[in-house]
Structure 1
Amino acid sequence: MTASMDPLAIRDALARARAHAPFLALLLDQEPGIAADVAGALADPVAAARAADGGGSVARQLRLERRRLALVAAIGDLAGIYDFGRVTRLLSDFADDAADRAVAAAIAERTPGVEPRGLTVIALGKHGSRELNYSSDIDPILLYDPATLPRREREAPEDAAVRIGRRVVELLQARDGDGYVFRVDLRLRPTPEVTPIVLPVEAAISYYESQALPWERAAFIRARACAGDVALGEGFLAAIRPFVWRRALDFGAVREIQDISRRIRDHHAQGQAFGPGYDLKRGRGGIREVEFFAQIQQLIHGGRDPALRAPATRDALAALAAAGRIDAETAEALTGAYVALRTIEHRLQMVNDLQTHKLPADRAALDNVAGLHGLAGGEALTAMLRPHVERVGRVYDALAGEEEPRLAADADSLERELAAAGMPDPANAARLIEGWRGGGVPALRTAAAREALEAVLPGLIAAFAQAPDGAHAIARFDAMLARLPSAINFFRLLEAQPALARLMSAILCHAPTLADQLGRRAELLDGLIDATALAPMPDVAALVDEMRERERDGDYQWLLDHVRRLVGEKRFALGTQIVAGTSDPLEVSAGYARVAEAAIEVLAGATRDEFARAHGRLADGELVILALGRMGGAALTHASDLDLIYVFTGHHLSESDGARPLGAVTYYNRLAQRVNGALSVPTASGPLYEVDTRLRPSGAQGPLVVSLEGFRQYQEKDAWTWEHMALTRARPVFGSPGARAVVDETVRRVLMGARPDRDIVADAAAMRAEMAAHKPPAGPLDAKLLDGGLVDLEFAVHTLQLLHRTAFDPRLGRAIDALAAAGLMRPEMHAAHDLLSRLLVTLRLVAPDCRPPAPATRPLVARALGVADWDAVLAGLEQARATVRACWAEIRARGTGFHR
């Protein structure tokens, strides 16, 4: 502690928290016990956190403890009672404890009563050095020992490890009303684009001994076994110590760290000029340059001097000064700058619990951060930081750079280099590279573009050489370059982010759908820099906020472009999660739907407001958008269109109140046409979604929008069985809560029996036969249209729902569970649904023709389905189809006469 438990300081900290940090104000309201006795909590923050009662749930207990610790740490920090080191140590130690308890819980859930061993958590980054941010994610590597990891009978160790690892991540990362524990970024593991999330420890050791890139050495300066089987982790770190700390000076590694910093400066150029909007982490003279400065000196000298191997930045600077490697004045200046910058970084993150590092560009927001820190305003805050930033920038600029590595220029030497690097078909690869160097594609016709290419070529070739099908990857890369209008920024990004080159290589190898998009919009790769790109997609409300975050008043066209850019990045990132193996395809599918729902909310709302400027509004009604099909079921694929129905509430004879009034029917039809356009018409930023409105009353022949009363009458009197089957997945996705509830109730009444009496089984069987005749499977892996595929499963579910008037949940998995609980459907249909859905979502990316993908891609599909290999994929598909066929056959065998 740096100060006594001063009541005045505590009261002042509480007042600033409530006035300037909505997140802290919320925590104070949620934790009245701590708010009432802050001094007691500050005296023992760990005990205060553990006093939370999670009701026996490990996940909830950890979320509550994190919430309480975040509150106590913030108040202690703001009051000056905890210094910077105490705050970061509290957060880091809690991360250790949370990860350890998550590992123990994940193992205990699967193998109760067994000692939690055989799986270790290696902390990297600021977690490894016990310097976590206030709102930081953690960057662990998960390793396991096949000989000691607990597993179920007849379960392969690698399968058990991945399942345990996924559960650990879920326990830490899942978010609900109590918040979350930590965001988890697993991309620092070896070749994350192709490896499982948990690696065998021996394989990891082999990788770091023989294949690891120089930048990975710097990452392990701060590595630490923090949770799980710590002895296993410490053994791993001891084994790779020679990789991290080499006795010979390694200026190649130093050059790469310097290059990364330089590229970061280029990429974040808007955050370089100090002032409002400055990036405290990546900006010139920022936090990262202090860290890189220390790490470069450690990499140069730490192999010969173990005293320099301190993980924490301040400790490293002190050790370097003590050893005479840097002067004491520089160490003192950098240490002071580091604490000042990190402290204000914490203030930024306390405001809304966001992992942000940029000073607000908005003056009022900057003043707010200054107020939280106890300063008079934004100018005082920037005046306090400016000397630190300028000093760090000067010190880092003084580091001498080295000439960048280049591939050989002559053809014979180039081919030999490519062969030595492990490139398949090096002669063809050399021919492609010579074409690029000769300016054979438009994006490489300038000297600057070719220079940027040369800088990135060594890393690109290394990535392609490590890919499962490097020849395919470099050929697709060549095709992608041919479509790029400009490549300089693209190459600079790849040079600054070596891991992105490997991830891009995996995309080019495995995912033609994503590769084609990348060829049209290379900037999509930029979105993968953010650690959250490979994390689960946020909820709809958070996505809506993000899409509206920079909304320009009245600039409707800008919003259309902005949403298209953002949706494109989100969908690309979701597809990449499957390629990288970081997410379950079912969660990716739900993520696609959340992104689409947020886009509908933002664009339909903006279109409605734009339309109202000319035509006013109708006082007694509003537009409601009803989603059906996969969108209604909140489970899209990368290629899904949106099945939508537009209805309006209120009286159809009403008239709008604008300068150019319209009758309700005309008003809502014109509005819906504009909403359709907002969702589907391409702009300069590309297309968004295909919208299918043929499920509306009377189909394509009917009006685009109908009144709710007209919709009700049609469904109750005239709709066919197939329309009622479609209605089982209806879900309002736009409209006020009240209007949504009214539409929901109308749909519920129809499904519960307010509809024509029809022979549902006969109608469903006839419709399925008609569909099979006119729309055969696209290929042998068409999980949707194959006999026993998802369409048959949907027919079975919807037929039973309508027959028995029960289990009306638009999400198929939950509907199946409800039918099974009622004894109406085989429980194994849920597993069949999950496997078919995972296959559908994955193949839309890697084999859109529904034919077996290339052999190199088949392990990716197996991993996505959670099975061992390609044979298991095929066997699982046949088993799922057999289950669905049997269920559907049982329903059809009941014959006609089932009228509901």
Structure 2
Amino acid sequence: MPLQSNKVLSAQMQQAAESYWLRLIDLWPEALSLTDSQQSEIKTIFSLSDYIAEQLNRHPEWIPELFNGLLDEVVRADFDKELHQILTDLTTEDQVKSALRQYRNKQMVRLAWRDFANYSKLEDSLVDLSSLAEALVIAARDWLYLDLCKQLGTPSDAEGKPQPLLILGMGKLGGRELNFSSDIDLIFTFPEHGETIGGRRAIANQQFFIRMGQKLVNLLDQVTVDGFVFRVDMRLRPYGESGPLVVSFAGLEDYYQEQGRDWERYAMVKARVLGPWTGYCDELHDLLRPFVYRRYIDFSAIESLRKMKQMIAQEVRRRQLTDNIKLGAGGIREVEFVVQSFQLIRGGREPALRQQSLFGAIDILYSLGQLEYLAVDELKHSYILLRRVENLLQAIDDKQTQTLPNNPLDWQRLCYSMNLTNETDLRTHIEAAMAKIHRHFNATVGGSDSHEHNDHWTSLFWNIQQDDHADTLLQEQQIEDPELWPLLSDWRNTVSKRSIGPRGRETLDRLMPKLLEELMAQTKPSAAFKPVSNVLDKILTRTTYLELLCENPGARQQLVSLCCASPWIAKELANFPMLLDELIDPAQLYDITSIDDYPSELRQYLLRVPEDDMEQQMEALRQFKLSQQLKIAAADVTGVLPVMQVSDHLTFLAEAIIEQVVLHAWHQVAARHGVPPGTNQNEMGFAVIGYGKLGGIELGYGSDLDLVFLHSNNSVGSTDGDRPIDSSHFYLKLAQRIVHLFATRTTSGELYEVDMRLRPSGASGLLVSEIERFGEYQNQEAWTWEHQALVRSRFVFGDHDLAHRFSLLRAQVLQNSRDKNELATAVREMRIKMRDHLLQSSEGMFNLKQSPGGIADIEFIAQFMVLAYSHEYQELTVWSDNVRIFEVLADLELMPVMQAQHLTQTYCWLRDKNHELTLQQMSGQLENAIVAEKTDTVIEIYRQILEMRY
């Protein structure tokens, strides 16, 4: 069957084909004995796909097979049968890796050829790709299971019945709609706990399957000389990366009943057990069904759908994606979203909707009367067009992309296979398809595009040309603000000179009347306009953000109110426009994450980013921090959060980020050098200690992180990687990597400024210390001020054993008996040095941190009391925050209750004022008269405690 014989290849395509053909002849002269039509077809395929050309130049022996039947209709059952036959006699994992990859590449060449040549419909191509992937995964699983059972015994339940590993295919693999270069999302599970039977020693089933799961991911994912089978993503499993690789049915059920989230319901719509069907498969699907499909018509899902819609638009804006046929407005994801939304809402009542296939589900929606014929026809045909373009794009060079080409050759390849004339012709078809999809997408979630606002007086005000007309309009509206029109007029003139494009200018003209209406509701509109216009200045050339504000009244209202409430927030919004996405839903903006949920929220957030794209991972960490800080600040300025909770939230947010930074750093260093003996991601032999505000759970906006890194004394020997280094060097590299990840500046700025000067020996000391050496230093060499710092230190991330050991060492050092007079002298001298170095205040003003009676004095009082009395009262070594230290001092009667309460109240009040001033972007000073009543008493207590003689 000749390939597009009536079409002519472009000059660039001919050049590409000729280059590959000459290579083939040189490597495999038999190519010249092929028939003319076969040679012509090979050259055409070479012109269309670099991937096929490269593979056939490496394996020319495949060419006769392709022409002798391999290009004929695909018999999908053959994949599984052939793979099991190939693997039967193999005895090592390396042999299996090679066999899987070579089989995969041959079949992918076959499927790509059929796709480019239009030998199969798009729907069939997607099922072919999915069937191949499923066969490869299952063949690898089955070989590994037998191999491990020989080594470790057979995992069995309490009655001795063998237990299998079940694999849930998620996403497009589950729906049998896999792309040419897709990742595969998998979840591993097994029916029942128990132990292995027949091995040298019994091990738990879960331990067996975790080991098997790790090997299976490696068999499929590792890049070898033959490439890889599939990139495997396991992050959709319960608890994401921090959860066990494999859980039992009971573990899955508990997780989804108690903690399953809306996005996990969406993911589970396409979940399907891979491989031959068994009773266990029925059991697993029955177990998951109540989580995915409610027994009633679930209109509660609609609100979740709207949030999902916002997340899609947010993703496109944040990543500044253009020409993306998956994530863009009207893209592939929106079709999937439309269909899955109906499945979630009605699947509980309509069993026919409980299927993984999009094509099957959309036909059922028509038969149920949920979608009209025109909607089904437009969605299906538009989806097929986009998926075909996506598949061809990826088959050009086996790359995971959904972005339209940026070069003429690839456009020519697409147009040739799509039987269209040129790029303009194909773009027209793609844009028409995406417009239809987006219209149905908006209709599904009740969304609406922007509405006109021309009939409001603010529209006249924005477009007015003469000053006297502006004054007249303001008088008619009874608005007395003489500064407003000059400010607006100057800003409009400045904007008119900027190049923002016709679409941007049109959007701005629609936005400004609506925004001015919000500004007019403020006490002084001109004062509100200044910070708001600063934000607008930064987004004028990013039309998607202008459209966001134009189409979302809630976002406009929050922009104005927050900019008026806090210049700090206004500056954050101007510097990082992606934060505007957080303003869309006011209810969500002020529904701040609970203290304990930051780690989980961050893990979920990072799931949106490819695991191996470090640049995007680093950007995502910064975006998460910025968005969460904005929510905390919004709750702060509106009085929703008291100061103690503001600091708690900022501190636990930082801890969640520290956890992920350490994990990222560990993966990077381990990938290069391996890991020290006896360690893994869950037992690193490493700990992060927080000092200062982080240690005292008192972080503010913009606070840096005082960190000390420790490792355990078990880490001897060398790492186990291809480029081994000694363990102490590994931990040094890990520490350096952590600091680098924090300090690197991306589009969203620096993550945190990290201060390591509190480590043993300060800036001249090692970046990471062995914990016992750390204890020796603290006991034998550290200065008094270092022991003061230790009072405000605590374990924030790492191994439990190290946490316990650090707590014991810290308590031991703090409990050392000290001469109180000498201690008081040392603490006073350090306080004087600090004040001389750091105190900056204007005449008649009080520096909240450094003036006598301020925050630092209160902290020094607490530190002195802990160091002076811990040898008698071990309770004083428990807490690192000042508020609870003063509570303990009062309980132990080491300080009068009224005195402790006054110090606590003043401390919280001063910190509260400091937060307020930070949000107003003002220096941390207040008039002496405002603070004197509180701070004079602090000065008196400071003198009593630190200047008295013991």
> Does TM, normalized by the shorter one, top 0.5?
yes
Give distance in 2, aligned partners of 1:631 and 1:668.
Answer: 22
d(CA) in 2 for partners of 1:264, 1:379: 27
- The change in CA–CA distance for 1:623 and 1:547 in structure 2 (over 3 A counts) is farther
1:807 correspondence with 2:876:
yes
**Structure 2 matches for 1:877-892, cutoff 5 A?**
877-892=931-946
Partner of 2:771: 708
Is contact 1:641-1:689 (8 Å) kept? yes
Listed one character per residue, the Cα deviations across residues 403-458 of structure 1 (whole Å, up to 9, x for unaligned) are 4323342234344434555665355435534542663464x632222211111112
Q: Distance in 1 between matches of 2:316 and 2:480?
A: 33
- Map of 1:848 onto structure 2: 922
* Number of the residue aligned with 1:617: 675
TM-score normalized with structure 2 length = 0.54
Q: Does the 8 A contact of 2:817 with 2:868 survive in 1?
A: no
1:278-357 aligned at under 5 Å gives the runs 342-343=345-346
8 Å contact from structure 2 (residues 316, 328) kept in 1: no
1:816 matched to 2:886:
yes
Partner of 1:673: 736
Tell me the distance in 2 between the aligned counterparts of 1:441 and 1:643. 46
Alpha carbons of structure 1 residues 631 and 483: separation in structure 2 relative to 1, 3 Å: same
Give aligned pairs, total: 575
Deviation at 1:402, TM superposition (A): 6.9
Corresponding position of 1:450: 505
1:294-443 equivalent positions in 2, closer than 5 A: 342-343=345-346, 374-375=354-355, 380-385=360-365, 388=370, 403-405=452-454, 406-408=459-461, 409=463, 410-411=465-466, 412-418=468-474, 420=476, 425-426=481-482, 428-433=484-489, 435-436=491-492, 439-440=495-496, 442=498
Residue 606 of structure 1: how far off its partner (Å): 0.7
Q: Note the C-alpha offset of 1:609.
A: 1.3
Q: Does 1:473 pair with 2:533?
A: no
Given that residues 257 and 291 in structure 2 are in contact (C-alpha distance below 8 angstroms), is that contact kept between their aligned partners in structure 1? no
1:525 maps to 2:580: yes
Counterpart residue type for residue 678 of structure 1: L
Q: Residues of 1 paired with 2:493 and 2:911: CA distance?
A: 44
> Given residue 876 of structure 2, which amino acid in structure 1 is its aligned partner?
A
Contact residue 554 and residue 583 of structure 2 kept, 8 A: no
1:717 and 1:401 map into 2 onto residues whose CA distance is: 69
Distance 1:698 1:76 in 2: 55
Aligned-pair distance for 1:24?
6.5
Query: Taking structure 1 as reference, are residues 446 and 601 closer, same or farther at Cα in structure 2, changes over 3 Å only?
Result: same
CA distance in 1, matches of 2:913, 2:352: 50
Residue among 573, 579, 592 paired with 2:650: 592
Determine if contact 1:455/1:495 at 8 Å carries over to the other structure. Answer: yes
* Rg larger in structure: 2
Shift of 1:827: 3.6
Which digits, 9 at most, give the CA deviation of each residue in 1:796-815, with x for residues without a partner? 11111111114231222222
Aligned residue number for residue 500 of structure 1: 555
Q: For residue 439 of structure 1, give the secondary structure of its aligned residue in structure 2.
A: helix
What residue number does 2:839 align with? Answer: 776
Is residue 796 of structure 2 the alignment partner of residue 733 of structure 1?
Answer: yes
- Deviation for aligned residue 1:837: 2.1
Q: Which residue of 2 aligns with 1:534?
A: 590
User: What is the distance in 1 between the residues matched to 2:506 and 2:251?
Assistant: 48
Q: Provide the rounded CA distance (Å) in 2 between the counterparts of 1:526 and 1:846.
A: 22
Q: Does 1:797 align with 2:797?
A: no
**What is the rounded CA distance, in whole Å, between the counterparts of 1:435 and 1:615 in structure 2?**
56
Q: Would you say the 8 A contact 1:441–1:482 is kept in 2?
A: no
Residue 663 of structure 1 deviates from its aligned partner by 3.0
Equivalents in 2 of 1:629, 1:385: separation in Å? Answer: 59
Q: Is structure 2 residue 717 aligned with structure 1 residue 662? A: no
Q: Which segment is superposed worse, 493-502 or 473-482? A: 473-482
Name the CA distance, whole Å, in 2 between partners of 1:562 and 1:555: 11
Residues 706 and 817 of structure 1: CA distance in aligned 2, closer, same or farther (over 3 Å):
same
Say which SS state the counterpart of residue 759 (structure 1) adopts: helix
Deviation at 1:552, TM superposition (A): 2.0
Larger relative contact order (CA 8 Å, sep ≥ 6): 1
Deviations 1:722-741 (A, max 9, x none): 11111112122221222222
The aligned counterpart of 2:786 is 723
Compute the displacement of 1:884 (Å).
2.7
Residue 888 of structure 1 aligns with an amino acid whose one-letter code is Y
- CA distance in structure 2 between the aligned counterparts of 1:384 and 1:660, rounded to whole angstroms: 56
Q: Does structure 1 conserve the Cα–Cα contact (< 8 Å) formed by 2:568 and 2:920?
A: yes
Change (3 A) 1:603 1:266: closer
Q: Is the 8 A contact 2:618 2:741 kept in 1?
A: yes
Name 1:605's counterpart in structure 2.
663
Q: Which amino acid aligns with 1:445?
A: I
Q: Deviations over 1:241-278 (max 9, x none)?
A: xxxxxxxxxxxxxxxxxxx9xx9999999486587566
The whole-number CA distance in structure 2 between the counterparts of 1:478 and 1:686 is 22
| In 1: Cα distance, 2:658 partner to 2:471 partner | 51
For 1:606 and 1:435, locate their aligned partners in 2 and report how far apart those are by CA, in whole Å: 45
1:571-582 to 2 correspondence within 5 Å? 571-582=629-640
Q: Residues 506 and 827 from structure 1, CA distance in 2 versus in 1: closer, same or farther, beyond 3 angstroms? A: same
1:645 deviates by 0.7
Q: Offset of 1:695 from its aligned partner?
A: 0.7
Using the TM superposition, give the Cα deviation of residue 644 of structure 1 relative to its aligned residue in structure 2, in angstroms. 0.5
Alpha-carbon distance in 2 for matches of 1:794, 1:476: 36
CA contact (8 A) 2:293 2:344 kept: no
Q: CA deviation at 1:880?
A: 3.6
- Residue of 579, 596, 621 corresponding to 1:563: 621
Letter in 1 for 2:860: F
Which structure 2 residues correspond to residues 1-20 of structure 1 after superposition, within 5 A?
Answer: none
- For 1:582, what is the secondary structure of its paired residue? coil
Q: Deviation per CA, 1:487-512, whole angstroms, max 9, x where unpaired?
A: 42222121222232232223333422
**What is the rounded CA distance, in whole Å, between the counterparts of 2:737 and 2:314 in structure 1?**
41
Which residue does 2:698 correspond to in 1?
Answer: 635
Q: 1:623 Cα shift?
A: 2.7
Q: Per the alignment, do residues 277 and 851 of structure 1 end up closer, same or farther by CA in structure 2, a change over 3 Å counting?
A: same
**Matched-pair contact (CA < 8 Å) for 1:439–1:446:** no
Deviation at 1:382, TM superposition (A): 4.7
- Letter of the 2:948 partner, please give it: R
Question: Equivalent residue for 1:839?
Answer: 913
**CA distance in structure 1 between the aligned counterparts of 2:675 and 2:448, rounded to whole angstroms:** 64
Is the partner of 2:677 in helix, strand or coil?
Answer: coil
State the identity as a percent: 23
Rate the CA distance shift 1:528–1:812 in 2: closer, same or farther, 3 A.
farther
- Change in Cα spacing, 1:527 to 1:384, as seen in structure 2 (3 Å) is farther
CA distance in 1, matches of 2:250, 2:345: 17
Contact 1:642 1:692 in 2 (8 A): yes
Alignment of 1:691 onto 2:754: yes
Counterparts of 2:604 and 2:798, CA distance in 1: 19
- 1:534–1:576 Cα contact (<8 Å) kept: yes
Whole-Å Cα distance in 2 between the matches of residues 520 and 692 of structure 1? Answer: 24
How far apart, in 2, do the equivalents of 1:400 and 1:794 lie?
55
Going from structure 1 to structure 2, the CA distance change for 1:632 and 1:485 (only over 3 Å counts) comes to farther
Distance in 1 (CA, whole Å) between partners of 2:557 and 2:848 is 30
Q: CA deviation at 1:564?
A: 1.2
Go from structure 1 to structure 2 and tell me whether the alpha carbon gap of 1:882 and 1:431 turns closer, same or farther (over 3 Å shift). Answer: closer
The answer to whether the Cα contact below 8 Å between 1:589 and 1:841 also exists between their aligned partners in 2 is no
